[in-house]
Structure 1
Amino acid sequence: MSPRKIIIVAPHFPPSNLAGVHRSRLFAQHLPAFGWEPIVVTVHERFYEEALDRDLEKLLPENLRVEKVNALPTKPVKTVGDIGVRGFLPLFKRILKIVEAENPAFLYIPIPSNFAALLGPLIHQKTGIPYGIDYIDPWVHVWPGSDRRFSKAWIARKLAEWLEPYAVKNASLITGVAPGYYEDVLKRNPHLRRKAITVAMPYGGEQRDHDWVKKLNIQPFLFVKKEGVLDFVYAGAMLPKAFKPLEEIMKAIKANPDLMQYCRIHFIGSGTSPNDPQGFNIKTLAQEYGLWNKVFFEYPKRIPYLAVITHLNAADGTFILGSTEAHYTPSKVYQSVLSGKPVFAVLHQESSACAVIQETKAGTVLSFNGERDIQKIHDNFPETWRTHLQFMSTFNAKDVNMDEFDKYSAKSVTKILAEALDQIELKR
């Protein structure tokens, strides 16, 4: 049987350096192994605002079909920033052309950009093609400022509440990084429990990415190793609801000055803006507790993905900080395990990342139960950190249970998606 075609709508795609591109990239890489031929429809990189990462293109399969469209520019006058809005009409036209000419079996839309989700019902209405939406992040949710009436954030939230029901109304598939990413969608739209297949799929780890780092011989450049000092890397954005857990950690460190005497934690790409080297996010907090450039160091600007892996490999361990939200599952956990370095994580107890670390025996988890349990971080951090340092003293990467990790590999995750697509095909 010839492969069935699936269109993956990814307004951002390599060489974009945004974290979300890896979701579409890894699906596109592994779907052919399960009988699905991906066609990626994206916006041309000349319309991206963020810095480009050309090395990411080297990770793409040679025969991957990528269709690029135009979009409204942001210069000289920026009318709108969201790539899903700026590229909406060109994306719609290209997808419609492919569907009408080639009769693909499915249309799959990872979000954000949330507005791209509206392409699903519009194309479905014109052609009948089944479609699905993948929640990399929740669409309708409350975030800082969104409860202030008539503010920009409030308007965005209200718009999401209005648009999402239309986007998901006729969806055949609803997926997410974890169940918590789409459970509220099902509550708001109960017909989906009968009409759509729902499945959770983590990001997954890709060993091939780490092999490429060695092949390209990329060297670390953000910090220099010092004898007798343990370096830990936190790589990625700083979530709004991660600041409270971080502050509890800082309080505990200040109260126990000997705890981190020979430790440094490097926050990489955690700034207020992906392209701003001065957009410090944790600096003020670290200064308040006297820990800035002593324990906590920050490099706000996002660096290339393979450079992040390089710094994970150069460190003595990785540091993962979760959110007070139960659904949050940091994708960095998979790269941390694959780095072969011991992992220390502070996570909501319901985060699926806890199981990844514990089942693979890759590190130590300090778990807590959301904002009501935030004091637990302060109380337990010193003892848990000392236990972790003991764990590190005998750690060997060969002891990590990679057989357990296999179910979290990008290929295994993609298999889950392919099986859901197969079910939809059987129903047609």
Structure 2
Amino acid sequence: MQKVLIIAYYWPPAGGPGVQRWLNFVKYLPEFGIEPIVYVPENPTYPIQDERLAADIPKEVTILKQPIFEPYGLAALFGKKQTKQISFGLIPKQKKQTFLERLLLWIRGNLFIPDARKFWVKPSVKYLTGIIKQQQITTLITTGPPHSVHLIGQKLKRKSGVTWWADFRDPWTTIGYHKKLKLTRLAANQHKRLERQILLAADGLLVTSDKTKLEFQNMTKTPIHVLTNGYEIEPKPTILDQKFTLAHIGSLLTDRNPIALWQALSELVKENYHFAQELQLNLIGVVGEDIKDSLAFYQLEDYVTYLGYLGHEEVLEHQAKSQVLLLLEIDSPETQGIIPGKLFEYLIAKRPILAIGPKYWEAGERVERHQAGRYHIATDKDGIKENLVLWFNAFQNQSLEVNPINIAQYHRKALTKRLAQLLAWA
């Protein structure tokens, strides 16, 4: 059986879609003749945790761990709240940033390149060089962010001659928050240099969207393959919410603020008495203060329930019973290739998806391609409002439903089969 070493930072008890991607690949790889060996940090600082995900780790899989030094503990001495928010990706708008927040962002972007997990690189290379030789491992996969794990892969390839695949769950220098890190020109160039270095040195690249593939093709001739995220568990039959619930699962970051949606909802609750009586907004996950300020400004506070971070099982339940699922993205050309991992679980939940994001957004295009809902650009207030009226009328008639097509390709087992084929061909 072919042995593959997988290097990841996020692993149970961490929560979030980045964990589920490789947790499920590891689960199914043995069915396709591949033995995964997983290497993760022993004492990581995870912004969110879901202890129940640990139960999904196959008992027969070898998990290797080594200590990691992370500077978040030191940073927290200066501002625990601000440090935690930045680690979540909740970066306040520039006008609202305190001096301490600006300082922490500058330190994060300019002193810790490519990221604050960089101190794990050297000891990991030393430890894994012996493991590769001892276990006779010929294939290595690194998955980022954090992108410092790719530096581990690069150095191990040089030392051990393994075939190395770099998996990019998100882009590197074009990710939405990158430009907010107060980068000096020197630091920005260093990030770009490291990114290009990785793209050129790897034997193969895995990306999660077609647009990211096109972006990387302009920088390298290394083979690039799209391997999206997916779904694993089909939701159990459930009774739909009695109210007209719009649910968003996941972090609502500062710039992922759907102003046109709030405007449309604000107008509808004023114009339509029945809509105002039935509307319920459920926000599951971390919500930025700017989002809360916008909801207050548009007088929507009374319709919102903040549920905070929930475990994966509870998330699946909410997805299945909500009337409408919100898929939101930052309105920027740089986010056109971002496909949130939750999209695929939204698809299998078979509830209408309201996708709001940038023009030419691949995730929104996939929503409509699979006949799973509607996609609006972020400024299309009138279109969003018209669509909500249609769906609310269907809700009142108990006929609000969708039946997405061609989604079996996103099952984790089908995606793992594709991964196994790529590893076999390498």
Deviation of 1:111 (Å): 0.8
Query: Is 1:6–1:39's contact at 8 Å kept on the other side of the alignment?
Result: yes
Distance 1:349 1:416 in 2: 30
The answer to which of 321-330 and 255-264 deviates more is 255-264
Letter in 1 for 2:292: K
Aligned to 1:56: 53
Deviation of 1:358 (Å): 3.7
User: Which of 275, 287, 301 does residue 296 from structure 2 map onto?
Assistant: 287
Letter in 2 for 1:19: P
Deviation of 1:284 (Å): 0.5
Deviation of 1:305 (Å): 2.5
Q: Secondary structure at the match of 1:287?
A: helix
The answer to which of 232-241 and 16-25 deviates more is 232-241
Distance 1:154 1:339 in 2: 45
Aligned to 2:102: none
- Percentage of matched positions with identical amino acids: 18
Aligned to 1:379: 382
Matched, 1:202 2:218: no
Distance 2:8 2:208 in 1: 16
User: Which of 264, 282, 285 does residue 252 from structure 1 map onto?
Assistant: 264
User: Which of 167, 170, 173 does residue 140 from structure 1 map onto?
Assistant: 173
Query: Is 1:146–1:153's contact at 8 Å kept on the other side of the alignment?
Result: no
The answer to which of 303-312 and 326-335 deviates more is 303-312
Cα deviation digits, residues 235-278 of structure 1 (max 9, x gap): 012245432xx101112223332454111121111334xxxxxx
Structure 1 residues 343 and 85: CA distance shift in structure 2, 3 A: same
Deviation of 1:287 (Å): 1.0
Deviation of 1:418 (Å): 1.9
Deviation of 1:303 (Å): 2.9
Aligned to 1:271: 287
Q: Secondary structure at the match of 2:391?
A: helix
Structure 1 residues 43 and 83: CA distance shift in structure 2, 3 A: farther
Distance 1:156 1:388 in 2: 48
Aligned to 2:376: 367
Query: Is 2:68–2:119's contact at 8 Å kept on the other side of the alignment?
Result: yes
Give TM-score scaled by structure 2 length. Answer: 0.79
The correspondence of residues 116-135 of structure 1 with structure 2, limited to 5 A, is 116-135=149-168
Structure 1 residues 154 and 389: CA distance shift in structure 2, 3 A: farther
> Unpaired segments of 5 or more residues in structure 2?
77-107
Letter in 2 for 1:269: G
Aligned to 2:367: 357
Query: Is 1:205–1:409's contact at 8 Å kept on the other side of the alignment?
Result: yes
Cα deviation digits, residues 79-114 of structure 1 (max 9, x gap): 988563242233223322221112223111111011
Q: Secondary structure at the match of 1:293?
A: helix
Structure 1 residues 182 and 359: CA distance shift in structure 2, 3 A: closer
The correspondence of residues 29-428 of structure 1 with structure 2, limited to 5 A, is 29-44=27-42, 46-72=43-69, 74=71, 77-78=74-75, 84-141=117-174, 143=176, 146=179, 151-152=182-183, 157-189=188-220, 192=221, 196-207=222-233, 210=235, 229-243=243-257, 246-256=258-268, 257-258=270-271, 260-261=275-276, 262-272=278-288, 280-294=289-303, 296-299=304-307, 301-324=308-331, 325-348=335-358, 350-354=360-364, 356-362=366-372, 364-368=373-377, 374-375=378-379, 377-392=380-395, 393-395=397-399, 400-401=403-404, 404-424=406-426
Deviation of 1:308 (Å): 1.9
Deviation of 1:351 (Å): 3.6
Deviation of 1:293 (Å): 2.8
Deviation of 1:51 (Å): 4.4
Deviation of 1:14 (Å): 0.9
Distance 2:175 2:368 in 1: 31
Query: Is 2:245–2:322's contact at 8 Å kept on the other side of the alignment?
Result: yes
Query: Is 2:254–2:290's contact at 8 Å kept on the other side of the alignment?
Result: no
Q: CA RMSD in A?
A: 3.0
Structure 1 residues 35 and 395: CA distance shift in structure 2, 3 A: farther
The answer to which of 411-420 and 108-117 deviates more is 411-420
Deviation of 1:22 (Å): 1.4
Distance 1:358 1:379 in 2: 19
Deviation of 1:356 (Å): 4.5
Query: Is 1:106–1:130's contact at 8 Å kept on the other side of the alignment?
Result: yes
Aligned to 2:85: none
Letter in 1 for 2:218: K
Q: Secondary structure at the match of 1:110?
A: strand
Distance 1:180 1:72 in 2: 34
Distance 1:104 1:159 in 2: 31
Distance 1:271 1:64 in 2: 36
Query: Is 1:233–1:267's contact at 8 Å kept on the other side of the alignment?
Result: yes
Distance 1:365 1:101 in 2: 53
Cα deviation digits, residues 278-319 of structure 1 (max 9, x gap): xx341001111111232x4434x4332223223323433322
Cα deviation digits, residues 179-228 of structure 1 (max 9, x gap): 22243233133xx2xxx3211121011126x57xx9xxxx9xxxxx985x
Aligned to 2:103: none
> Unpaired segments of 5 or more residues in structure 1?
220-224, 273-279, 369-373
Q: Secondary structure at the match of 2:301?
A: coil
Distance 1:327 1:412 in 2: 22
Distance 2:203 2:53 in 1: 31
Letter in 2 for 1:207: I
Query: Is 1:34–1:415's contact at 8 Å kept on the other side of the alignment?
Result: yes
Letter in 2 for 1:253: L
Distance 1:134 1:55 in 2: 25
Deviation of 1:71 (Å): 1.0
Cα deviation digits, residues 335-370 of structure 1 (max 9, x gap): 1233343333224464443455345444x21333xx
Distance 1:174 1:378 in 2: 38
Deviation of 1:11 (Å): 1.3
Distance 2:326 2:340 in 1: 11
Give TM-score scaled by structure 1 length. Answer: 0.79
